[in-house]
Structure 1
Amino acid sequence: MTEKLQKVLARSGYGSRREIEAMIGAGRIRVNGKVAQVGERIDADASVRIDGHEVVIKSESSVVCRVLTYHKPEGELCTRKDPEGRPTVYERLPRMSGARWVAVGRLDVNTSGLLLFTTDGELANRLMHPSQEVEREYAVRIFGEVTDAMINRLKKGVQLEDGVAQFDTIKAAGGGEGMNHWYHVTLKEGRNREVRRLWESQEVQVSRLIRVRYGDIKLESGLPQGGWSELDLEQVNELRAKVGLPPEDKSFIDPRHQESKQRKFAKIRRATSKRKDRLREAQRVNKNKRK
């Protein structure tokens, strides 16, 4: 039985399907000694190399689907490595052997809030794909006067440089001072900087942007910025069912040793504080080296 190369590599934890297709297009992947093609099918005995390094092909039964929620701070990049030494979201995640974390979508450097990571690239692909219509919710602080006419246009659809876009819902959230006002907005796609560009099309400015929900997964109250929390088996399977994937039967979380949220988040805050200190020191060293 053969399967598509990008599906196999996504399942094996080498990236989302989109990331792998980009690697194939760049000629970075070889199958049985030949440069791979997008859509190519392989069998279980195929020899696959990425950037010259042989990769381990995993069967569906051998992959444990893990999912993390991560509270991204402003200033972190959604990339694995930054040539300028700036902090990335991957630096704070737990290390693994034989697998790697795949981000479900991205947040730009000035946006904070909920990011999902998984070891299952197929799950990441489906959660991001527009056909699944997985809803994202953002808390957004707007600087400028917002009128009913603006809100109607944003819900009906406005023309951006990459096509028509719109919010599904817009709700005033109160708070803010002077010309700053908070709103909660939802939409079912994740184009680059889409929330900001939609508001800016109405000649107002986004002064703060926080993703608070992805599908049914919410940014947990008490999870500190820079902290992560792993979903239990029931939560993972609810997420998988939402995008038509079969249930998982294995988990890294032992339900017999579950901690209270208060205790768990206290540990996360301590670990996050120590990591912040290490990152600041690394950034200081990198800055001195560039001088």
Structure 2
Amino acid sequence: MPKRKAERIPEDGMRINKYIAHCGVTSRRKADDLVEDGRVQVNGQTVTEHGTQIQRGDRVQVNGEAISLDAPTYFLLNKDKDTISTTDDPKGRDTVLDLLNTSENEKEGLFPVGRLDRNTTGALLLTNDGDLAHRLMHPRYEIEKVYFVRVRQNVKPDQIDRLRRGVELEDGPAAADRVAYAGSKNEIGLSLHEGRNRQVRRMMEALGHEVVHLQRTSYAGLTTEGLRRGHARRLHEHEVGALHRLVDL
């Protein structure tokens, strides 16, 4: 599948925070923090000025590790259960990177955009594009996530209304943007633009329901349709472009 071309450093240079972000290390704002903390070296010299310009041929390191403007990579994963949404797990459990059928070199630098808890399945984006990932996770852009939820008991119509109006959680009220039955009365589909920890499960628990199956069927318009559980695919060029337009890149 096509990938967005690697960005070239302009003849007059590239600001250091932009360079770090485009290498997939982190967002531009957090890149500024790395510079301030003295954790960035250019040609062997520590730099602390935000306005530092990276020139063609410069050697850049962050925390002693060399970085470069490789072509950004984008995967959509249909996450399986019992898989951790991290790049490494000290307990030795399977991570989302273990599900990618690609080389270890290509996995280097990839990270999940947001996370799904261990027993939640479905759409998860993995990339090394730091700028895009940061914006997709930022509340300002209100990225839509769509879920299929199955609970043990039937969901009453007034509870559907409560999900629309909002339920009170320990970290503040939470409401679904859209919600409807999805087959049986104990199955619903709902969409959110927030991304709080275990939000869907906690919303259902607030109504007295235990979630027995939770699947994210869509993230930022990317769906798991046709993608087997535990498998991933590269994004098409038009999908990458659509993601960038969603967050004004």
The reply to whether TM is greater than 0.5 is: yes
2:62 is matched with which residue: 50, 57, 60?
50
Distance apart, 1:57 and its partner CA: 4.5
Amino acid at match of 1:84: K
Q: Of the candidates 7, 10, 19, which is equivalent to residue 8 of structure 1?
A: 19
Q: 1:140 aligns with which of 136, 149, 152?
A: 149
Partner of 1:251: none
- Per-residue CA distance 1:10-33 (angstroms, 9 max, x = gap): 310224568x56x849x6934566
Query: Is 2:245 the counterpart of 1:238?
Result: no
Which residue of 104, 115, 129 maps to 1:106?
Answer: 115
Aligned pairs for 1:163-202 (under 5 A) are 163-175=172-184, 181-202=186-207
Separation (CA, whole Å) in 1 of partners of 2:141 and 2:211: 28
1:154–1:167 Cα contact (<8 Å) kept: yes
Q: Please state which structure has a larger fraction of its residues in helix.
A: 1
| 8 Å contact from structure 2 (residues 86, 111) kept in 1 | no
Is the 1:69–1:114 Cα contact (8 Å) retained in structure 2? yes
- Cα contact 2:38–2:46 (8 A) shared by 1: no
The whole-number CA distance in structure 2 between the counterparts of 1:75 and 1:240 is: 31
Summarize deviations over 1:183-209 as a string: whole Å, max 9, x none: 101000211111111111111111110
Q: Does 1:229 find its partner at 2:239?
A: no
Measured in 2, the distance between the counterparts of 1:198 and 1:231 equals 31
Q: Is the 8 A contact 2:41 2:62 kept in 1?
A: no
**Are positions 1:124 and 2:133 aligned together?**
yes
Q: Which runs of 5+ in 2 are unaligned?
A: 1-12
Q: For 1:88 and 1:244, how far apart are their aligned partners in 2?
A: 30
- 2-structure distance, mates of 1:241, 1:203: 39
**Cα deviation, residue 109, structure 1:** 0.3
Question: Deviations along 1:160-199, whole A, 9 cap, x unmatched?
Answer: 22222111111101137xxxx1110100021111111111
Conservation of the 8 A alpha-carbon contact between 2:75 and 2:125: yes
Moved over 6 A (4+): none
Match of 1:29 in 2: 39
Aligned-residue identity in percent: 34
Letter in 1 for 2:177: D
Deviates more, 1:122-131 or 1:74-83: 122-131
Partner SS, residue 21 of structure 2 = helix
Give the aligned length: 230
TM-score when normalising by structure 2? 0.79
Match of 1:260 in 2: none
Q: Between the two structures, name the one with larger relative contact order (CA 8 Å, sep ≥ 6).
A: 2
Cα distance change, pair 166–41 in 1 and its aligned pair in 2 (3 A): farther
2:97 to 81, 84, 90: 90
Partner residue in 1 for 2:160: 151
Shift of 1:47: 6.6
Aligned CA distance change for structure 1 residues 74 and 98 (closer, same or farther; 3 Å): closer
Out of 63, 78, 98, the residue aligned to residue 85 of structure 2 is 78
Task: Determine if contact 2:111/2:128 at 8 Å carries over to the other structure.
Answer: yes
Between 95-104 and 80-89, report the one with greater CA deviation: 95-104
Give the drift of 1:35. Answer: 8.8
2:192 partner amino acid: L
8 A Cα contact 2:148 2:188, kept in partner: yes
Q: Secondary structure at the match of 2:67?
A: coil
Q: Kindly provide the amino acid, as one letter, of the partner of residue 205 in structure 1.
A: E
